[in-house]
Structure 1
Amino acid sequence: MKKLPIGISSLEKLIGENCYYVDKTYFVEKLVNSGSQFFLSRPRRFGKSLLVDTIKQAFLGNRELFKGLYLENNWDWKKKYPVIHIDFGGRNVKDVVLLKKWIMEQLKEHFNFYDVKLEEEEDYGFLFRKLILKLYQEYKNPVVVLVDEYDKPILDNIDDTEKAIEIREVLKDFYSVLKASDQYLKLVFLTGVSRFSKVSIFSGLNQLQDITLSPAFATICGYTQSELETVFVDRLEGVDLEKLRYWYNGYSWLGDKVYNPFDVLLFLNEKIFRPYWFETGTPTFLVKLLKQKKYYLPQVEELEVGEELLSNLDIDYIYPENLLFQAGYLTIKETNQILGRWYYKLTYPNFEVKTSFNNAFLTHLTPPPLKDATELQIIKAIDKNDLEKLKDTLYSFFASIPNDWYRKNDLDSYEGFYASVVYALFTGSGLNTRSEDTTNLEKIDLTVLYQDRAYIIEFKVVEKDSEGKALSQIKEKRYYEKYTDSCREINLIGIEFSREKRNVVYFDYETLKR
């Protein structure tokens, strides 16, 4: 039986016997035919390093690694090019001193590898420039420069603005060498998670082509449904493909939707549905930022943003929407063009990300010991269709949060706190939720779908005592009409929270049946 390549970082290891490989090598030819300087942003563990290594091996002329792949018979193997491969993904950088040292170490490794004489110790910028010139002169061919995880040193320090800016300036200086060396370069390809603005980090690289949202390169990383079912056909026997799609598919960069390769490989190895990708890195900084901004969590599910917000990230101006998209917690659902400007609707890519992210958010927003037990009680209440139990569960949950915890976390002025917590409880438990659910009149705060039942929930925050308006609004706006044809039973639930009492002060419901 074939084995799956888990944790592969080298193309040479991947193309061996008993391994699977989704052939993306035609993108290498497409890159070369499309320009000379490229930038690609994709979330972590999406195959960026493997892509960089594939490009590297092609330009080095290692044809034997491409046997049976597209590039084997669609590449000029007679030409070989010197390749400079800089990888910032292998260690955490805590200051500019360590960053400069790491850059110098990687450059010196290239001098040794190509047996190029290093005459004296120099500044990393001069050394980079000299390496490019020496390779160009000795190999009589232009140089290929590949930079993997170009932004990781900045992201390692994103919660320390001053230090992140210092590191950014070092990287900006380092990358500026590429502009000055343009005539000696065959190809420049940079990858990373974040799309920092060209002004802030790539000033001077005027020809740098950002292919992050290029439809032609939308599936350059990740597995399409067709690739999954073709390449892994012998491992998919007995697998519920619809459930697999629901859990892991859904990432979109203006082309076919794709799976995260890390999820697919681990699932096919274990045959257990788990949040494999999410478990490899908790979005602590992002969750803290949402909390700091007092973000209304339900709106994350249906965000509408402009192209400027989606395209550029700057340390001086960090927006949650930008980070959510670039880090892979949101993806593009729809596009729209108005007066020549593009607008994007974002949503969670799949079940894994939606549930896991809400669990992470809830862990940071409420005392952790309460979360798991409350989610279990919510699931039981919905499963049994016991709305009284649901009411008691929510009341007990908020009653268990100590008053000093509210003061410590400055939640008194957080207008969306209660709705965000309830939304995260329902969503993090794995229930099928729809926030800001659009009807022909207005938006439902939260819809929960379970079996053949719908739960239409409206939230209100009052100063002290119940005003009894939440349920009335559902009926007046006739929110339930959206589900009268598709659901056998519709439960209308109005919930009101008191700022003063910090708990549920109103929970009323009505049931409609066909």
Structure 2
Amino acid sequence: MKKTISIGKQSFSSLREHDNFFVDKTNFIKEWWEKEDDITLITRPRRFGKTLNMSMMECFFSNKYANRADLFEGLSIWEEEKYRKLQGTYPVIFLSFAAVKADNLSDVKEQIKQEIVRLYRRNGYLAESDCLSEEEKREYREISVEMSDARLATSISVLCEYMSRYYGKNVIVLLDEYDTPMQEAYVQGYWDEFTSLIRSLFNAAFKTNPFLERAIMTGITRVSKESIFSDLNNLRVVTTTSDLYADCFGFTEEEVFSALDDYGMGDRKEEVKKWYDGFTFGEKRDIYNPWSITNYLEEGKLYPYWASTSSNGLVNRLIRMSSADVKEKMEDLLQGKTIVVNFDEQIVYNQLDQNENAIWSLLLASGYLKVEEVDYRGITREPWYTLKITNIETLSMFMTMFRGWFQNSDANYNDFVKALLKGSLKEMNIYMNDVTLATFSSFDAGKKPSEKNQPERFYHGFVLGLLAELRDQYEIRSNRESGYGRYDVMLTPLNKNDNAIIIEFKVHEPEEETSLQDTVQSALDQISEKNYDAELLARGIPVDRIRHYGFAFEGKKVLIG
């Protein structure tokens, strides 16, 4: 009998009590316990079972779930008597920062304090026990959203002390989604002030806490040690490139195929693999996103379930405002190619605008790209990563993102594309001027946008938009060699009856050109003189089916000829 699929349920006890669909990941309990690490930080993309696994850890270790053998019977962890005896024997603190999101420092502090207040209320029996002095009881009851930052910083470690005293055993601390407020702090502009607070909280909870047995933190990104973990020398970091716990988050191919068989979908394995396979953790390949698989099992249709739930604001902004080089690499990725880049897996949020390579680290950690190969170069063994878009689902996410750049109601980008394909210069000029006015400045990352840099950044964003719109009709390439130079944009038709298009972008040079029309002519002359047609001619496209367009820019004004 097929088990009911409960979409989005993140409570381990509830899933087990209702006998819902569940993929056994209890091997994570054994692997983690036997590593004996004091503090473990595990990063995985969104909706990869982090919260469910943390709930599972709480149910296994917490003495509040003592005598709950029913939750684990039939699962792999219950096969060993050692672990049957271990279940339900520790005091556990389970805390989540998933909902800590605010556009200012004051509100985010209040939200964290609210989480701490809820934690203290759940353990209110401590304030009634004989283990606390009258002064400690008074201080316990004074924990509120009005508490000072200093009191907040020590709140977790103090609760550990009280629980350890009450139970006669040190405490296991589980912190889920630790980096959610950090991303918000960076995006909203209060990074420095917030990290000072969170560093103090983590130092007290995880470094100078003698009442801590062990701890696990989960998140999407590995925030740099210097930012918040500078005092934690006992931290084991497990990223998407680590071999440790590689199959403990996400579904393996064997688990996915078994579920498809159970739900009568065994004949759909290949299409499911194309859409949802591709995540790699360490050396472990063929990992699937649990959110998409459970939704597919429930709905029975291919759809970008995971991609459609994402909040891509930070990634979107970083790519849109990135240099031409980053956008060129994105063009390659969208066309199924790999790129080779060097980056540090540690993310220093306040340096994201200065260090463009950080975008690759963020895309990898978020699951949008996968590692095909790592090459360690030089005497310092610097890692160079060969990256590729993860699967069809993540490709759809990028396509939606790039379309969105030009979907401003004033942009008329779709109208421009239609005019380009039918060769109407008049309409092209009208619509492209609307597009540049609506989107131009968003493609320049500088504080003082440069008229020299803007067109270059814009045209690569423009190409990504074309790829999103015309990928099924044209092979679209930019800044590639042909003839005696490098063209800006080339559209090669997939249908032999369609026209090929070459576009050259030029910035108006007032010292050399008297008008934008001169700049247009200079662009057209370059296409001819550099023989950019050579690549198209070599592919059998006749001269009379190759169109040339020169785009001349002067600030946000554009003329096409």
Instruction: Give the alignment's TM-score, normalised by structure 1.
Output: 0.80
1:4: which partner in 2? 5
Change (3 A) 1:316 1:376: closer
For the residues of structure 2 that align with 1:347 and 1:101, how far apart are their CA atoms? Answer: 41
Q: Is the 8 A contact 2:347 2:362 kept in 1?
A: no
Q: Is the 8 A contact 2:413 2:435 kept in 1?
A: no
For the residues of structure 2 that align with 1:150 and 1:355, how far apart are their CA atoms? Answer: 28
Structure 1 residue 105: Cα displacement? 1.0
1:327: which partner in 2? 366
1:200 aligns with 2:227: yes
Change (3 A) 1:434 1:352: farther
For the residues of structure 2 that align with 1:473 and 1:285, how far apart are their CA atoms? Answer: 40
1:237 aligns with 2:265: yes
Structure 1 residue 450: Cα displacement? 6.0
1:35: which partner in 2? 36
SS of corresponding position for 1:169 = helix
Cα offsets for 1:141-169 (capped at 9, x unmatched): 331110001111222232222x2322222
1:299 aligns with 2:324: no
2:511: which partner in 1? none
For the residues of structure 1 that align with 2:391 and 2:223, how far apart are their CA atoms? Answer: 26
For the residues of structure 1 that align with 2:495 and 2:261, how far apart are their CA atoms? Answer: 31
Instruction: Give the alignment's TM-score, normalised by structure 2.
Output: 0.74
Structure 1 residue 183: Cα displacement? 4.3
1:502 aligns with 2:543: no
Q: Is the 8 A contact 2:407 2:413 kept in 1?
A: no
SS of corresponding position for 1:258 = strand
**Residue type of the alignment partner of 1:323:** L
Change (3 A) 1:447 1:190: farther
2:510: which partner in 1? none
1:78: which partner in 2? 85
1:382: which partner in 2? none
Give the alignment of 1:227-266 within 5 angstroms.
227-235=255-263, 237=265, 240-254=268-282, 255-266=284-295
Q: Is the 8 A contact 2:175 2:218 kept in 1?
A: yes
Change (3 A) 1:396 1:247: farther
Give the alignment of 1:10-49 within 5 angstroms.
10-17=11-18, 19-36=20-37, 37-49=39-51
Structure 1 residue 370: Cα displacement? 6.0
Change (3 A) 1:210 1:503: farther
Structure 1 residue 312: Cα displacement? 2.8
1:312: which partner in 2? 347
1:509: which partner in 2? none
1:190: which partner in 2? 217
For the residues of structure 1 that align with 2:475 and 2:536, how far apart are their CA atoms? Answer: 19
Of structures 1 and 2, the larger Rg is shown by 2
User: Over aligned residues, Cα RMSD in angstroms?
Assistant: 4.0
2:160: which partner in 1? 132
Cα offsets for 1:179-221 (capped at 9, x unmatched): 4445433321001122111121112211111111212322321
Q: Is the 8 A contact 1:370 1:397 kept in 2?
A: no
Structure 1 residue 236: Cα displacement? 5.2
Change (3 A) 1:196 1:403: closer
Larger mean CA deviation between 295-304 and 152-161 belongs to 295-304
Q: Is the 8 A contact 1:398 1:503 kept in 2?
A: no
Larger mean CA deviation between 16-25 and 187-196 belongs to 16-25
**Residue type of the alignment partner of 2:366:** A
Structure 1 residue 17: Cα displacement? 4.7
Q: Select the residue among 98, 119, 123 that pairs with 1:111.
A: 123
Structure 1 residue 87: Cα displacement? 0.7
1:360 aligns with 2:362: no
Structure 1 residue 285: Cα displacement? 3.2
SS of corresponding position for 1:102 = helix
For the residues of structure 1 that align with 2:246 and 2:316, how far apart are their CA atoms? Answer: 28
1:287 aligns with 2:316: yes
1:508: which partner in 2? none
Q: Is the 8 A contact 1:46 1:260 kept in 2?
A: yes
For the residues of structure 2 that align with 1:451 and 1:186, how far apart are their CA atoms? Answer: 65
Give the alignment of 1:156-171 within 5 angstroms.
156-161=184-189, 163-171=190-198
Change (3 A) 1:16 1:267: same
**Residue type of the alignment partner of 2:116:** M
Structure 1 residue 88: Cα displacement? 0.8
Change (3 A) 1:206 1:503: farther
Q: Select the residue among 468, 477, 486 that pairs with 1:427.
A: 468
Fraction of identical pairs, as percent: 21
Structure 1 residue 338: Cα displacement? 0.8
SS of corresponding position for 1:252 = strand
1:350: which partner in 2? 391
Change (3 A) 1:68 1:223: same
2:105: which partner in 1? 95
Q: Is the 8 A contact 1:460 1:497 kept in 2?
A: yes
Change (3 A) 1:26 1:458: farther
Structure 1 residue 430: Cα displacement? 6.3
Structure 1 residue 368: Cα displacement? 4.7
Q: Select the residue among 445, 450, 467 that pairs with 2:524.
A: 467
1:52: which partner in 2? 54
For the residues of structure 1 that align with 2:311 and 2:412, how far apart are their CA atoms? Answer: 17
For the residues of structure 1 that align with 2:242 and 2:492, how far apart are their CA atoms? Answer: 35
Q: Is the 8 A contact 1:247 1:350 kept in 2?
A: yes
SS of corresponding position for 2:258 = helix
SS of corresponding position for 2:383 = strand
SS of corresponding position for 2:350 = coil
Change (3 A) 1:106 1:405: same
Q: 5+ residue gaps in structure 1?
A: 379-386, 485-490, 506-514
Larger mean CA deviation between 107-116 and 62-71 belongs to 107-116
Structure 1 residue 260: Cα displacement? 1.6
For the residues of structure 2 that align with 1:76 and 1:314, how far apart are their CA atoms? Answer: 40
Q: Is the 8 A contact 2:502 2:548 kept in 1?
A: yes
1:405: which partner in 2? 438
SS of corresponding position for 2:364 = helix
Q: Is the 8 A contact 1:22 1:227 kept in 2?
A: yes
**Residue type of the alignment partner of 1:85:** F
SS of corresponding position for 2:230 = coil
Change (3 A) 1:458 1:133: farther
